[in-house]
Amino acid sequence: MKGYQTNHRGHRAKIKSLCSQNEFPLKDITEKIIASAIEVHSALGPGLLESVYEEALAYEFELRGIYFERQKEIILKYKGRSIGPHRIDFLIERQVILEIKATEGMKKIFEAQTLTYMKAMKKRVGLLINFNVERLKEGIKRLVS
């Protein structure tokens, strides 16, 4: 039954969310993405190349049945004129842009870059995940425009 889950005693309980869809739109999709990223990070740990995490994450999405487009080409425009192609790391379920990093620290330019992609693709939600951290929770940034 939707809206209910079973507790540790086997009783049904109404699910209470700590945040609404207005605060975190597409929360169900972003939670699946984050869970997949945590699984990859738990298995591989920090310190690898971005391409390794990208490959592992794509495989994890396949295993979980999450639809994704990898290295999706987008066309950037300036005043209505195409100024060239660019690529985003992932487009998940045709709705969420996912940019991954494996760098020392999360820089503001990464957020700006992801927001630019969101604007170019007319997407409301983006995730920026840096795998080069001890605890992945510290490397996740949810962006809403």
Q: Which residue ranges make up each domain of the chain?
A: 25-144
Could you give phi then psi for residue 16, rounded to 5 degrees?
-115, 125
Q: Does the pTM of the predicted model rise above 0.85?
A: no
Work out the pLDDT band at 105, boundaries 50, 70, 90. Answer: confident
> Does residue 89 contact residue 99 with C-beta atoms inside 8 Å?
yes
144: Cβ–Cβ under 8 A, 6 or more apart, which residues?
A: 24, 25, 124, 125, 126
* 49 CA to centre of own chain: 18
Look at the alpha carbons of 79, 82, 87, 93 in this order and tell me if their dihedral is positive or negative: positive
Question: What CATH fold (topology level) applies to the domain 25-144?
Answer: Endonuclease; Chain A (3.40.960)
24: Cβ–Cβ under 8 A, 6 or more apart, which residues?
A: 30, 142, 144
**Could you read off the pLDDT of 33-92 as tens digits, one per residue?**
999 999 999 999 999 999 999 999 999 999 999 999 999 999 888 998 999 899 999 999
Work out the pLDDT band at 23, boundaries 50, 70, 90. Answer: low
- For residues 101 and 113, give the distance between their C-alpha atoms in angstroms, rounded to a whole number: 12
